[in-house]
Chains A and B, each alone.
Chain A
Amino acid sequence: MIGPVEIAIGFLIMLVLMFIGLHVATTMFITAILGAVLYLGMPAVNAVGNQLWAANEDYVLLSIPLYILLGEILVRSGTTDKMYKSLADWLNFLPGGLLHTNIGASALFSAVSGSSVATAATISTVALPTFKTRKYDVRMVLGSIAAGASLGNLIPPGIAFLIYGAMTNTSAGRLYSAGIIPGALMTLMFMGTILAISLYKPELTGDKEAEAPLREKLGRLKHLLAPLIVFGVVMGCIYTGWATVTESAALGVVVALPIAWAYGQLTVKMMHEAFRATLRLTAMSVLILTMAFYLNFVLGLLGVTQSLASVVQALDVSAVQLLWVLAVFYLLLGIFFETLPMLVGTVPLVFPLITAAGIDPVFFGVFMVLMCEISLISPPVGMTLYVIQGVRGEGTIKEVFDGTIPFFLTMILMTALLIHFPQIALWLPNLSFG
């Protein structure tokens, strides 16, 4: 068993390798090999081959490419523009008007798309021209898009839950179930933030839309159906126990095809583009995940789990205290890191800590994904913010940062709620899975 000091040094080495710009997968691989060579000898090094095969030959993980593919097909059906207009019909009456639509549309889009870059870029392209003539405060517009785009992983089916589940042997179905209420609550809290700001400072919001006739609104409603049908089918099958997570993903792909056809977009060219995007995103995640599995394997042999557990026992911290410490740790890390490296790079070390402190793994999955969401919009590095600025192509990045601050604070509030009321996450999975 190796001590906490060696573990900390190992983690630091990995961070340094990441910061000098090596590929994240390589940094984990080097750290694992280093641990194996120094403390375990050749058998642990030679196990790489079997570990690689065992890590990748996994039916549950097949859900990753399938969910990504389903999203890519839907995104290419050309519904985003129409979906945005239809959402606007129903959210416009709220003080803050179109800003609410930014949250709703980003949430819907990011729930189906596996890429936060794609979400931020697409919603910005759809939304920004609409705001040109309507005199909204530009910071609010940008902030609301960023906030919405960060919701994707919390609202199932997201890839982050699958990766966390695979690394910690936690049921993906339970994690998806646990994400629903926090995801919905987060969406409502964002809208609440807009509402509060609009009531307090009405000058920040712009011109109201003219109310569209009901007939027109109902006619456009069908464009909201596509994402809702897919969401309903996929999640329905998981919750009722009809299908495994992978089977639901396969079903989602099959349901997405006629939707793309109905919008006249189901072409061979479109499918090939979707395949390329799917394999690209899948390989990005799975290469890192594979190396994280090997790192996990080495850490297991090194007795890291027990070592960290004894640290927690010696410190005698409560679950709530530990979660707050981790929240601060992740906020700091999130300044520099994106979702995937943050999730995969820290879970092998943090998971033993939280299990030793008696924290529910399903709950921690939700907490972890929320931390990843915050990292997406925390200045000065949050990827989403730069993508929005990139698409906008005018003004300064500072305006995006400023606009994000109220939503960033809302996410901190959500973190506090989640830590002190874990039932927000655990009530639904315990209800549906017992």
Chain B
Amino acid sequence: MPPNLLSRSLTRLVDTLVISVGWWLVLLSILSCIEMVTRKLFNFSLQGIDEVGGYTLAVTAAIGYSYTLITRGHTRIDFLVGKLPAKARALLNTLAMLTLAAMAVFCILRGWVVLSESIEFQSHSTTPLQTPMWIPQSIWFVGWVLFAVICIYLALHALWLLLRGETDALNRAYGPQTLEEEIESEAGEVLEQLREEQKHEGVKA
């Protein structure tokens, strides 16, 4: 992301949402366990955990798309791209960002239709909870909008870098992750913790 206030604000917003969804997942897990126990022991069931769980996945994924985008985690096959000259890579990296943004925009346009129909027809789920569908769908939709906005922002930035001929900066910011970056983002903290421990034990020995 370009280093400016907008990038920092978006990153902070997404991070806050990610943390909130995380705590919600923990809470939902605890509720599921309580439901399992009361169902087995007292034949009493908290209705609707599964329904809320379904909505939770939709929201978790929609929020996660943005976070994965910012941390450059969305999967690409870099086998061939990695072997091309820098100029060609820059072109393909920009193309990847533009097509991703186009897909996201198309998805929110169609997603809006789903949401607006739920509002217009006052759809409810056909379950004991009778959830008004616009509630989970709007949170899901907001997640998609956030994803689309960040996609467009990054795609424009990539295009800008391409037009200015800043090939290296473009490839660094929008190319597939390098091996070191991938290791860092998937296991960085865990490895740090391990090395810390190994150092500690080295001192003891």
Q: A residues bordering B, Cβ < 8 Å?
A: 18-26, 29-30, 46, 48-50, 52-53, 56-59, 61-62, 64-66, 69, 75-76, 78, 80-81, 115, 117-118, 121-122, 125-126, 129, 242-243, 246-247, 249-251, 253-254, 257, 271-284, 286-288, 290, 336-338, 340-341, 381, 386-387, 390-391
Contacts and interface: CB of A to CB of B under 8 A. Distances in A.
Prevailing SS type, chain B contact patch? helix
A23 B140 contact: no
Contact of B179 (A19, A250, A390): A390
Contacts of A50: 114
Contacts of B78: 21
A21 B81 contact: yes
Contact of B32 (A26, A251, A286): A251
B114 A49 contact: yes
A387 B67 contact: no
Prevailing SS type, chain A contact patch? helix
Nearest to A53: B114
A382 to B, nearest CB: 11
B181 to A, nearest CB: 10
B197 interface: yes
Contacts of B21: 275, 279
Contact of B64 (A57, A76, A274, A279): A279
23 contacts: A19-B77, A20-B95, A21-B76, A21-B77, A21-B176, A23-B100, A24-B75, A30-B103, A49-B114, A57-B55, A64-B57, A76-B189, A76-B193, A117-B183, A121-B191, A257-B26, A272-B22, A276-B15, A280-B64, A283-B67, A287-B74, A381-B79, A387-B182
B61 A23 contact: no
A81 B198 contact: yes
Interface in B147-205: 176, 179-180, 182-183, 185-187, 189-191, 193-195, 197-198
B25 A19 contact: no
Nearest to B179: A390
Contacts of B119: none
B95 A254 contact: no
A69 B25 contact: yes
Contacts of A390: 179-180, 183
Given A75-B190, A243-B36, A20 B92 contact: yes
Interface of B: 15, 18-19, 21-23, 25-26, 28-30, 32-33, 36, 40, 50-51, 53-58, 60-65, 67-68, 71, 73-81, 92-93, 95-96, 99-100, 103, 106-107, 110-114, 136-137, 140, 144, 176, 179-180, 182-183, 185-187, 189-191, 193-195, 197-198
Nearest to B59: A56
**5 pairs of A and B residues whose beta carbons are closest in the complex:** A275-B22, A283-B64, A49-B110, A21-B81, A250-B32
A24 B60 contact: no
A47 to B, nearest CB: 8
Given A24-B75, A242-B36, 14 more contacts: A21-B92, A58-B57, A65-B60, A66-B25, A78-B193, A118-B187, A121-B191, A251-B29, A253-B26, A254-B33, A279-B18, A341-B75, A386-B179, A387-B179
A250 B33 contact: yes
Nearest to A270: B189
